[in-house]
């Protein structure tokens, strides 16, 4: 299909030494050429070549920018259309000037995600791959990046296609049995064989879904709360974690003013530290926050780091915190282990139940390695490393996989009760369709527009 020509700045605004204006569409080369002065015209340039020259304002004949221009002709491009990338050296002003000149021609400013959307619409990538592009842009750790990468390379798509093929095989066999009951070569599809086959697919689906928890955590971070009474070392721990990790420390704008989220990367597990504002602030504020605030924070926590001061006997406030954490995955840290131990380790262990207890010191950095190891073990089982598998990480994909599983369960139950095989047909067809939505085989235009509008501009 032929679309109009679009353009946008496709590098992060204000960062990096080079900014790129990207054009895609039937007129991309012609339009770039009309602004470009170099040793030869871009229209004559071979595909996948790069050219040095100047961008000149056609009205004033003024040189706006010194550039390197890549010419990539369809179909071997990201969008499968003609693509031109104008690499500008100057800062934001000059790249904006170049974009402005481009947009004065017969070109439209690209919507967020529109380049990727074209790649999808032109069949270059499927929907789950397009979504991976978005994840890549937002990846918070190398592992999250790996997950997105393998999804972009189509590993999830391949899995989904395989599952769909298995469902199709069942459907085909049911069909043959209904239409040609006396056809000898056809495999006879009794409710027993249907049951067995559907169960096989279900097991496969379960394996894929079992990676969802890890995948989601890698993608979104594990909501982590640091609790402990005043002066036990919460701020010190936070500083250690932030310092140790090559972390992205972000304030999330638009959230409640006093809730700040920071991400730290613990052996590939992104921890989303919640309400670090309370911890960073002066300790009299922390005192005011007290147990009731902790209670509220703990409700949404997926991981708790509970600190107690090993240099003092346990207090009732410590004991109250132990009761609050309940079943939430927790690491108990007996801090200030560099000082003499005045706490009853036995009582701490008793209160901790099955939660691991570590001794730490923020002064001589004792126990931090073990803390990291313990945190990572919450997410990855012993041997599995963060990059060993294809993880399902996207909430939309997980939801669809679960719906497909429940449709399949309906078919399995029907077969189990000895219902005629064509009864199960509808459910299996439904499972097949739901899986198709993951890769974009069976999705509506509205959904597609919604998904792509979440992308960054210029991607
Ligand atoms: P918070 O109130 O829980 O945030 O505790 P802070 O991190 O502000 O620490 C309170 C005081 O304890 C500070 O003077 C820290 O230097 C000190 N502190 C924190 N961790 C340790 C530790 O492991 N050993 C020792 N000796 N002092 C520590
Ligand atoms: Zn503090």
For 355-387, the pLDDT digits (tens) are 999 999 999 999 999 999 998 887 775 444 444
Q: Is the CB of 310 under 6 A from ligand 1?
A: no
Alpha-carbon distances of 63 from 50, 57, 104, rounded to whole Å: 19, 6, 16
- Average of pLDDT values for 21-33? 96
Residue with more model confidence, 16 or 120: 120
pLDDT digits (tens, 9 = 90+) for 130-145: 887 777 766 666 666 7
Q: Largest Cα–Cα distance of the chain, in whole Å? A: 85
Alpha helices (H) in 64-154, listed in sequence order: 92-104, 114-121, 127-138, 142-152
Question: How high is the pLDDT of residue 21?
Answer: 92
Map residue 229 onto helix, strand or coil.
Answer: coil
Among 116-125, 252-261, 423-432, where is mean pLDDT lowest?
252-261
Distance 253 CA to ligand 2 centre (A): 23
Question: How high is the pLDDT of residue 249?
Answer: 37
Q: Which of 210-224, 389-403, 407-421 has the highest mean pLDDT?
A: 407-421
Q: Is the CB of 286 under 6 A from ligand 1?
A: yes
Question: How high is the pLDDT of residue 187?
Answer: 62
- Which DSSP state fits 365? T
Atom of ligand 1 nearest to the CA of 228: 3
Which ipTM did the prediction report?
0.98
CA dist., res. 42 & res. 51, Å (int)? 8
- Measure the CA dihedral 68/74/78/83, to 10°: 30
Ligand found nearest the CA of 336: 1
Question: How high is the pLDDT of residue 138?
Answer: 65
Question: How high is the pLDDT of residue 276?
Answer: 60
Give the N- to C-terminal CA distance of the chain in Å, as an integer. Answer: 20
CATH 3.40.50.300 domain span(s) along the chain: 222-379
Q: E strands along 327-405, which residues?
A: 330-335, 357-359
Residue listed under structure tokens 């490393």? 385
Q: Is the pLDDT of residue 344 over 70?
A: yes
CATH architecture, domain defined by 126-211+389-442 = Up-down Bundle (1.20)
CA dist., res. 434 & res. 145, Å (int)? 26
Q: Is the pLDDT of residue 14 over 60?
A: no
Map residue 38 onto helix, strand or coil.
Answer: strand
160: tokens are 């989904």
CATH architecture, domain defined by 6-110 = 2-Layer Sandwich (3.30)
- Average of pLDDT values for 168-181? 77
Task: Identify which of 225, 227, 229, 231 to mutate to test ligand 1's pocket (most ligand atoms within 8 A of the CB).
Answer: 231
Question: How high is the pLDDT of residue 131?
Answer: 80
Residues 440 and 120: beta-carbon distance below 8 Å:
yes
Query: What is the dotted CATH code of the domain comprising 222-379?
Result: 3.40.50.300
Q: Is the CB of 236 under 6 A from ligand 1?
A: yes
Question: How high is the pLDDT of residue 192?
Answer: 86
Among 18-27, 157-166, 380-389, 425-434, where is mean pLDDT lowest?
380-389
Distance 232 CA to ligand 2 centre (A): 8
Question: How high is the pLDDT of residue 262?
Answer: 73
Among 157-171, 194-208, 250-264, 270-284, where is mean pLDDT lowest?
250-264
- Average of pLDDT values for 411-435? 89
172: tokens are 């085909």
pTM above 0.90, yes or no: no
Among 95-99, 196-200, 255-259, where is mean pLDDT lowest?
255-259
Question: How high is the pLDDT of residue 409?
Answer: 95
Distance 341 CA to ligand 1 centre (A): 15
CA dist., res. 30 & res. 330, Å (int)? 61
Does 278 count as an annotated binding residue? yes
Residues 303 and 328: beta-carbon distance below 8 Å:
yes
Q: Is the pLDDT of residue 254 over 70?
A: no
Number of neighbours of residue 251 by Cβ within 10 angstroms: 12
CA dist., res. 268 & res. 196, Å (int)? 39
Q: Is the CB of 338 under 6 A from ligand 1?
A: yes
Strand order in the sheet with 357-359: 261-266, 269-274, 222-227, 303-309, 330-335, 357-359
Packed helices 155-179 and 395-416: angle between N→C axes, nearest 10 degrees: 30
Which backbone phi and psi does 338 adopt, to 5 degrees? -75, -20
CA dist., res. 18 & res. 214, Å (int)? 36
Does 85 count as an annotated binding residue? yes
Best CA proximity match to 153, nearest among 130, 182, 177:
130
Residue listed under structure tokens 């003013």? 257
Q: Is the pLDDT of residue 49 over 90?
A: yes
Does 140 count as an annotated binding residue? no
Best CA proximity match to 227, nearest among 187, 270, 279:
279
- Average of pLDDT values for 155-173? 87
Question: How high is the pLDDT of residue 394?
Answer: 80
Question: How high is the pLDDT of residue 339?
Answer: 95
Q: Ligand 1: which residue has its CA nearest to atom 22?
A: 336
Q: pLDDT class for 13, splitting at 50, 70, 90?
A: low
Distance 109 CA to ligand 1 centre (A): 53
- Average of pLDDT values for 312-331? 91
- Which DSSP state fits 113? T
Atom of ligand 1 nearest to the CA of 283: 2
Q: Is the pLDDT of residue 4 over 80?
A: yes
For 21, how many CA atoms within 13 A lie in the half-sphere containing its CB? 33
Q: pLDDT class for 186, splitting at 50, 70, 90?
A: low
CATH 3.30.1360.120 domain span(s) along the chain: 6-110
CA dist., res. 368 & res. 358, Å (int)? 9
CATH 1.20.120.430 domain span(s) along the chain: 126-211+389-442
Question: How high is the pLDDT of residue 388?
Answer: 46
359's torsion region: left (phi>0), alpha (psi -120 to 50) or beta?
Answer: beta
% of the chain with per-residue pLDDT over 70? 79
- Average of pLDDT values for 87-104? 85
Distance 235 CA to ligand 2 centre (A): 4
Task: Identify which of 236, 340, 359 to mutate to test ligand 1's pocket (most ligand atoms within 8 A of the CB).
Answer: 236
């Amino acid at each position: 299909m032929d679309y109009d020509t679009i353009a946008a700045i496709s590098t992060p605004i204000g960062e990096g030494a080079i900014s790129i204006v990207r054009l895609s569409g039937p007129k991309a080369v012609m339009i770039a050429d009309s602004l470009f002065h170099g040793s030869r015209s871009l229209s004559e340039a071979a595909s996948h070549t790069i050219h040095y020259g100047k961008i000149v304002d056609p009205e004033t004949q003024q040189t706006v920018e010194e550039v390197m221009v890549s010419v990539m002709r369809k179909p071997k491009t990201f969008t499968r259309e003609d693509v031109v990338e104008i690499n500008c050296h100057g800062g934001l002003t000059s790249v904006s000037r170049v974009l402005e000149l481009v947009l004065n021609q017969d070109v439209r400013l690209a919507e967020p995600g529109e380049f990727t959307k074209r790649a999808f619409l032109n069949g270059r990538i499927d929907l789950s791959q397009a979504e991976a592009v978005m994840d890549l842009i937002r990846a918070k750790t190398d592992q999250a990046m790996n997950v997105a990468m393998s999804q972009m390379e189509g590993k999830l798509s391949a899995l989904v296609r395989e599952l769909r093929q298995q469902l199709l095989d069942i459907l085909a066999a049911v069909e043959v049995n209904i239409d040609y009951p006396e056809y000898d070569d056809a495999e006879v599809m009794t409710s027993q064989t249907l049951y067995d086959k559907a169960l096989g697919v279900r097991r496969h689906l379960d394996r894929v879904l079992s990676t969802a928890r890890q995948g989601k955590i890698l993608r979104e971070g594990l909501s982590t709360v640091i609790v402990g009474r005043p002066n036990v070392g919460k701020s010190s721990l936070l500083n250690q974690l932030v310092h140790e990790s090559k972390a992205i420390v972000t304030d999330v704008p638009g959230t409640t003013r006093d809730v700040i989220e920071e991400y730290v990367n613990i052996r590939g597990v992104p921890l989303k530290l919640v309400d670090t504002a309370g911890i960073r602030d002066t300790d009299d504020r922390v005192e005011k926050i007290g147990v009731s605030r902790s209670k509220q924070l703990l409700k949404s926590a997926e991981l708790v780091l509970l600190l107690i001061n090993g240099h003092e006997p346990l207090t009732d406030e410590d004991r109250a915190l132990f009761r609050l954490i309940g079943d939430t995955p927790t690491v108990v840290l007996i801090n200030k282990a560099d000082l003499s131990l005045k706490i009853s380790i036995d009582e701490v262990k008793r209160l901790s139940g099955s939660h691991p207890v570590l001794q730490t010191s923020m002064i001589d950095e004792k126990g931090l390695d073990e803390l990291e190891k313990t945190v990572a073990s919450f997410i990855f089982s012993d041997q599995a490393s963060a990059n060993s598998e294809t993880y399902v990480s996207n909430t939309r994909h997980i939801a669809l996989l679960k719906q497909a599983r429940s449709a399949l369960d309906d078919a399995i139950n029907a077969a189990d009760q000895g219902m005629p095989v064509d009864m199960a047909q509808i459910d299996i067809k439904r499972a097949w369709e739901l899986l198709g939505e993951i890769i974009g085989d069976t999705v509506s235009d509205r959904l597609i527009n919604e998904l792509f509008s979440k992308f960054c501009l210029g991607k």
